[in-house]
Each structure stands twice: as structure tokens, then as C-alpha cells.
A = this chain, B = another copy of it.
Amino acid sequence: MNAAAPNPIGPIAVIGGTGPLGMGLALRWARAGETVILGSRDAGRAQQAAAAIQRAVGGEVNVSGMENAAACAAADILMLTVPFENQASLLKHLKPSITEGSILIDATVPLAASVGGRASRPLGIWQGSAAQQAAELVPKEVSVVAAFHNVSADLLGGDAALDCDVIVCSDDPDAGQLTRDLAAKIPGVRAIDGGKLENARIVEQITALLIGLNIRHKGHAGIRITGLPPQAYR
């Protein structure tokens, strides 16, 4: 356990956690002293990823790796970081393993790249957003939160503080607050209550815009919200 860890919130299961966003979030939360369980289709791959995070953080850290469903069963906070084309099938696979009262934090962005199009264009989703699709696929008592769409995975995977805000949308105020507390554990990140889950429609699409900016301007774009009073953050 990291000596500096204030008020751990986890354990957090990062489902589909061996991709860049999952690894980056796991790294930052492990550094903050959180217990993180990396999930992957392949348990061995999850364990290798966990070992890589342990090496990157150094010292004693609580990071382990498991098959996705086992990771899911081992935590009440589930962080979903998979490409949109895998979201629905994975949630159907996970459904029996999700424990009652769990919170699912969804960072899925429905990009046209999922169906052979461009990563700078969003797909239209019948439910309105990938997060609302997730809400339809999990057991009813699970609170779904949309967050972490607009954070650069590349920057998360590094050592420097970030320079961006995380807009958190949920119909469950407590789950939203917990997620904002988790976001604020990442140096340089401010968390903002973005209202109801339906607002994920816009937050998800912003990622497509940022990907376009990254392609055009060769960067790792994020967003900051300006013009709000200090108490709006977190």
C-alpha cells in the first residue's frame, strides 16, 4: 500500500483493463494507493499487465490481474474500458458476475471506427449513448456512471500531472460523487458533475472531436471547463 494513500475508495475492477485507457487509469489509481484488479479476456494477460503496473509504480501496490468475469465478481466498482464494438457482448457475458449494488463506470465511446469508419466521427446509438446502452444491459440495481471519455490514455500512462477535466454523468448522485472522488485522485484532473446519464451523449461525442484535433494538430487533447465557480468541481 502506498503510504500516501488517503481514504481508499476501491477495490476497482478495470474491465477490459489491458488497453491504453484501462492501463492508464489502473496506473494512476494504483499510485494513489487504490486496490485495482485488472480484467482481461485472458487471465494471463491481465496478470502480465498487473505486473507491468507494479513495476511502474514501484514499492508495494495492490494490483492484480484476472479474467474479466472474475475481476467483476471481486469488486463493487467496475470501470469499463473497452472498444465500443466489444461493449454489449462483454456486458452480456459479465451480467451474472456483477454483484448487487455495484457501480459500473463506463468510458465507452461509440466511434465510427468500430464499424470501419473514422475515429473522429461518432456513431448514433439507439439508446442515445454507449453509457445508456450499458445501463440497458446490466442488472437493474446497478448504477451506471459515464466518465473518463475525454482523458488522454497516452498521458494517463505517463508520469506527468494531467491538464484536463472529467465530466461525470449519472442518474445516481452517490455513484456520481464516488466517481468524481476517483477522478480527483488523478493528479491534475478536476471532476465536474455533468448531470444525468443522458448527457453522456455529448460527452462521448467530444472524444471524437478530440481525436480529430489530435490527428490534425499532433497532440493529446483534453478539455477544461472554464467559467464555473470553484465549488462546481468535484
Binding site for B on A (CB under 8 A): 120-122, 152, 155, 163-164, 167, 192-195, 198-199, 201-203, 205-206, 208-210, 212-214, 216-229, 231-232
Contacts and interface: CB of A to CB of B under 8 A. Distances in A.
B228 A217 contact: yes
A23 to B, nearest CB: 18
A210 B194 CA distance: 9
A163 B227 contact: yes
Given A206-B202, A232-B219, A213 B226 contact: no
Number of copies: 2
B225 A212 contact: no
**Do most interface residues of chain A lie in helix, strand or loop, or is the interface mixed?**
mixed
Give the top 8 A-B pairs by smallest Cβ distance, nearest first.
A217-B232, A219-B228, A220-B227, A224-B224, A202-B209, A163-B226, A222-B226, A221-B227
Contacts of A121: 198
Contacts of A195: 120, 212-213, 216
Contacts of A217: 192-193, 228-229, 231-232
A231 B216 CA distance: 11
A221 B229 CA distance: 9
B194 A202 contact: no
A226 B232 contact: no
A227 B232 CA distance: 22
B164 A227 contact: yes
A212 B167 CA distance: 12
Nearest to A155: B227
A194 B222 contact: no
Contacts of A205: 201-202, 205
18 contacts: A152-B227, A192-B217, A194-B209, A199-B212, A201-B205, A202-B205, A203-B209, A206-B206, A213-B232, A214-B228, A217-B228, A217-B231, A217-B232, A219-B227, A221-B225, A221-B228, A222-B226, A224-B224
